[in-house]
Amino acid sequence: MQLGYDVTVLEARDRVGGRVWSQELQPGRPDTVVERGAEFVLEGYTVMREIAQRFGLMAAPSGMSYYVRDPRNASTPITAEQVAAAARDLRPAAEGVPRETTLRAFLDEHGTNPAADEVLAARAAISWAASEDRLSAHVLLDSVASLQPLPTARMAGGNQGVAKALAAHLGDRVRLRSPVSSVRSEGAAVDVTVDGDVLHADRVVIAIPLPLLERLAIEPGLPDAQREAMARLVRGHAAKLHVPLAERPPTSAVIDVRHRFWTWTATDGSGEVQPIAHCFSGSPGALAGLMVTEGSSSWAEALRALRPDLDLMTDQALLSTWDDDPWATFAYSGPGAATRPGDEELIRAPLGRVHIAGEHTAGDWAGLMEGALRSGIRAADEVHAAV
């Protein structure tokens, strides 16, 4: 729009933000804002911080570090420092194996500390929301294994504030409750079908979750090579649990190794610790073990056993799942052991006048808010260069 283009944004949901969704856990209490989707603003989130600053939004320190978690319920007691030391020892070997080596196979061959291996596997599975037999051993080279107390933030007032600010800037160019059923590119135009009506455009950017993209009616269709590259991405399955607390606790970060979830207490934009226990679990096996399809009770029981220091109000717990969300059907994606060189370029390749954006196109930034934003800028640059 800043370059003089007339744009229309079609959003299937009744809100903007997609898998970024902020909500007051206790209505009317801004100190209980939780993130039902993407949560942390991490090191390297330059684009998100720049956009937030443009709209007067602030990234608020959380008072804890996403990277450092106190491990509990491992088969043998172990400390975060011992896990960090084991990860450092494993890094040279991880650098030397091919990407297709799975994390499970790597740890079986190179691990020397069973308890540390158990924690590292759990951390990776939780963070990538996929089992370690799908993940590449190269995850040990990224933040999963950095285990350093790097700064961690969230947007004051909720991460969804960034999406809301962008939407407000666009005004009535954003159309909610407008799911697209087909995209047809022919000649110098693209026809987009929305609720039976056809909109005509010069260019289209599709930024929807990967499973929805794969089944969207697009003409001409996705080439086989592009579909195969998409199929090689890891599909993450995750859920979140938020439980109000009767008293404000100190900040903390704890991982339940056996049940494969982690929980934290953190400060918000006010600088005060929220009266909330935040929880995240990832991978199909972990979600099945916590029985999230049956509600929050099993997870809440596991949380209570893990954190007897917290005064949990489990009757007011909020469970957020994404597999059963029709406009998501999963959590997020990322490169895995099956990913091949060149897949990133294949996945994001435009289809004539149709351009592909979304976190799944962001390579090493896949699965992250920063990746989604970067992909949008990349797609906009493609459009501008082609016009």
pLDDT bin (cut points 50, 70, 90) of residue 142 is: confident
User: What is the per-residue pLDDT for 147?
Assistant: 77
In this structure, is residue 92 part of a structural domain?
yes
In this structure, is residue 104 part of a structural domain?
yes
In this structure, is residue 25 part of a structural domain?
no
Judged by average pLDDT, the poorest of 43-52, 91-100, 136-145 is: 136-145
The per-residue pLDDT for range 338-371, each reduced to its tens digit, is 999 999 999 999 999 999 999 999 999 999 999 9
Domain limits at 120?
70-146
User: What's the chain look like in SS3?
Assistant: CCCCCCCCEECCCCCCCCCCCEEECCCCCHHHEEECCCCCECCCCHHHHHHHHHCCCCEEECCCCCCCCEEECCCCCCCHHHHHHHHHHHHHHHHHCCCCCEHHHHHHHHCCCHHHHHHHHHHHHHHHCCCCCCCEHHHHHCHHHHCCCCCCEEECCCCHHHHHHHHHHHHHHEECCCCEEEEEEECCEEEEEECCEEEEECCEEECCCHHHHHHCEEECCCCHHHHHHHHCCEEECEEEEEEEECCCCCCEEEEECCCCEEEEECECCCCCECCEEEEEEECHHHHHHHCHHHCCHHHHHHHHHHCCCCCECHHHCEEEECCCCCCCCCCEEECCCCCCCCHHHHHHCCECCEEECCHHHCHHHCCCHHHHHHHHHHHHHHHHHHC
When pLDDT is averaged across residues 44-57 and rounded to a whole number, the result is 98
Structural domain count of the chain: 1
The per-residue pLDDT for range 155-190, each reduced to its tens digit, is 999 999 999 999 999 999 999 999 999 999 999 999
In this structure, is residue 314 part of a structural domain?
no
In this structure, is residue 130 part of a structural domain?
yes
Looking at the chain, the whole-number percentage of residues with pLDDT higher than 90 is 95
User: What is the per-residue pLDDT for 387?
Assistant: 87
pTM listed for this prediction:
0.96
In this structure, is residue 134 part of a structural domain?
yes
The per-residue pLDDT for range 64-120, each reduced to its tens digit, is 999 999 999 999 999 999 999 999 999 999 999 999 999 999 999 999 999 999 999
In this structure, is residue 138 part of a structural domain?
yes
In this structure, is residue 140 part of a structural domain?
yes
